[in-house]
Chain A
Amino acid sequence: MRHFVWERYWSVVKKEVIQIKRDRPSLAIALVMPLMLLFLFGYAVNTDVNDIHMAVWNQSPSAASRELVDQFVNTRVFEVAAHVSGYEEIEAMLDDGSVNVALIIGPDYTRKRDRNEPVDVQMLINGSDPNIARTATSQAQLIVQHQAITLQEIKLQKQGLGELEQPLGLDTRVLFNPNMESIVFNIPGLIGLIMQNVTMILTAFSLVREKERGTMEQLIVTPIRPLELMLGKITPYVGVGLFSFCLVLLVGTYWFGVPVKGSISLLVTLSVLFLVTTLLLGIFISTVAKTQLQAMQMAFAFILPSVLLSGFMFPRDSMPLVIQWLGGLVPLTYFLEILRGIFLKGVDIDALWKDVVGMSSFCLLILTVAILRFRKKIE
């Protein structure tokens, strides 16, 4: 009596498949929603900072000052949005957000440059978004420094000292994502996030729906075991989830141009493990919730922290240790490492085994908790 009976498991699978097939709208949502979300977020989630709107107050119009402004524009980081004359205008524009930075060239710029005297230009930066502010600061510093060195070289050459030799140089090579495009980093993460949310919601409703419709009462007077019921319920959804995963994988690869560098079969295998984990998480929600509404609320209560704690948005290394541990309770955390590893670095299981172990342990943990939670009682 105590062991797993395949026949009972298989009847649940068949029953679920029939029910999924009859419920076309839900099936359509399960298949189409990941695609739509990927298209939407693929364009929306972009952490590259380009074309920062800049106001320019050039109080010393000349070839020299215009050259400096051009240097800013040529990097494509800055874009001149307006030419102004006065701090009031600049302040107003910073306030209403039409520009994020302002470049102020003083009235004595051209004169001092002509005389080879040191001169400063000023930049005002809207610091409310640190990401933009940091980019603007460092880029502006680079541009001005570069311009300064060029001027210094010309000056030294005029004095007959010949080429200026840099005493120290840095030779960088960026691996895996040489152009440092954020989309290359974001698409694999998005695929994981979308799959987690869609599949978790699929099963979060499954047991609750039976409770609400009263079919659970009939089911628990049968000899069926909780493990047979739960595995039977998630099996068809593993298929649905895998199909959906392949769709978003194709879109990520061909539409967004983020190719998979590593082994596709390893990626698919580990995705199945991930799907099983998130589906079990949904089942767990289903054992706790009493109504479908509650299940929905619980699913959302889980989704938001998982976005932030998994390392999807912000690097986990810079989080406090406790928060990093909490991130370990989110299956997405492990899957992101796996996805990014296989997608971008093309790494093998040797580099990912820790995440695989982490995700498997979480999977078993959630299965155990769900089985303990699920009583064949109606109290």
Chain B
Amino acid sequence: MNAAIQCEQLTKRFGERVAVNSLTLTVPRGSIYGFLGPNGSGKSTTIRMLCGLLTPTTGKGTVLGFDVMTQSEEIKQRIGYMSQKFSLYEDLTVEENLDFYAGVYQLNSAERKQRKTELIEMAGLTGREKQLAGSLSGGWKQRLALSCALLHKPELLILDEPTAGVDPVSRRIFWDVIHELARQGITVLVTTHYMDEAQTCDWIGFIFFGNLLAEGTPQELIDRLGVGNLEDVFIDLVRQEEARQAAEEGVR
């Protein structure tokens, strides 16, 4: 089993609206997979299906070898997830948030102590343990959220726009951590709108209107479209798809 995430024809409908349209993708173990696409293209819906937050309407998918339809609780024990919105307790301190999640993931006291020290150091939160999470600035909040998601040493880390609205320095620190985690063998699935971040991913998947339009390494995509950088790949893909859809509308 070499793929951390494998899904085939994964589809999610909300009533009439198709949010994700038969998505097939493979995320190899130990890689950083960048998931790109405009707002509302179905990135978050896909991620939520993989985490077990949403049940797919049709299709198949496995995460770390577990079925997303039936084994979402097994998946939850083994993944770390961070949503685009800060979703830790703002009225708890840094340490209390970590303690809460350590308990929820059933870490014993020795593990808990060790992981807390490691992660506080990794996130650069030393000295801020007693500060309320709500009073941290954006960059710190994201690093705290990442720490909470990593407490139980997940094999797969799923990050939904982790760096949205974060300053460049914090972004750089954040991505250094992500690369370090990948070196340790953790698979990372991450969505982003920053092309400099996407450039450093091992794989890129491009999704628009619920369809996976292109997949490959960043360089492959740049070469395939014959453009200068990823930003142009993004814009070209969106334009092509919009033109194609407009043509279809015209035929109809």
Contacts and interface: CB of A to CB of B under 8 A. Distances in A.
Contacts of A223: 73, 76-77, 104-105
Contacts, number: 83
A335 B87 CA distance: 39
A19 B81 contact: no
B106 A217 contact: no
Interface in B11-34: none
A290 to B, nearest CB: 16
Interface in B53-95: 53-55, 72-74, 76-77, 79, 81, 83, 85-92
B90 A213 contact: yes
B104 A8 contact: yes
B96 A1 contact: no
Contact of A221 (B74, B76, B89): B76
A233 to B, nearest CB: 13
B53 A378 contact: yes
Given A215-B87, A222-B101, A19 B92 contact: yes
Interface string B92-115: 100010011111111000000000
A222 B72 CA distance: 10
B179 interface: no
Nearest to A379: B54
A213 B91 CA distance: 11
A378 B104 contact: no
With most chain A CB atoms within 10 A of its CB, the pick from B86, B103, B148 is B103
Interface in A338-361: none
B87 A376 contact: no
A214 B87 contact: yes
B54 A378 contact: yes
Given A8-B104, A222-B101, A224-B104, A15 B53 contact: no
Contacts of B91: 18-19, 22-23
Contacts of B148: 218
Contacts of B73: 1, 223
Interface residues of B, number: 33
A10 B104 CA distance: 9
A272 to B, nearest CB: 25
B77 A376 contact: no
Contacts of B145: 218
Given A15-B92, A214-B85, A222 B54 contact: no
A26 to B, nearest CB: 11
A7 B102 CA distance: 10
B112 to A, nearest CB: 11
B193 interface: no
Contacts of A216: 87
Interface in A47-82: none
A261 interface: no
B89 A11 contact: no
A14 B52 CA distance: 26
Contacts of B88: 215, 218
Nearest to A2: B73
A222 B104 contact: yes
B103 A217 contact: no
A217 B51 CA distance: 10
Contact of A8 (B54, B86, B90, B106): B106
A230 to B, nearest CB: 14
A221 B149 CA distance: 10
Nearest to A216: B87
B106 A18 contact: no
A378 B100 contact: no
A377 interface: yes
A290 B92 CA distance: 23
B96 A378 contact: no
Contacts of A222: 76, 101, 104-105
Contact of A18 (B52, B85, B96): B96
A10 B99 CA distance: 11
Contacts of A11: 99-100, 102-104
A5 interface: yes
A220 interface: yes
A265 to B, nearest CB: 33
Interface centre among A7, A10, A23 (most CB of B within 10 A): A7
B53 A1 contact: no
A224 B87 CA distance: 16
A337 to B, nearest CB: 40
Nearest to B71: A1
A15 B89 contact: yes
Contacts of A378: 48, 53-54
4 smallest beta-carbon distances between A and B, as pairs: A11-B103, A218-B87, A221-B81, A214-B87
Interface of A: 1, 5, 7-8, 10-12, 14-15, 18-19, 22-23, 213-224, 376-379
Given A5-B106, A14-B103, A217-B87, 5 more contacts: A8-B104, A219-B104, A376-B72, A377-B53, A379-B54
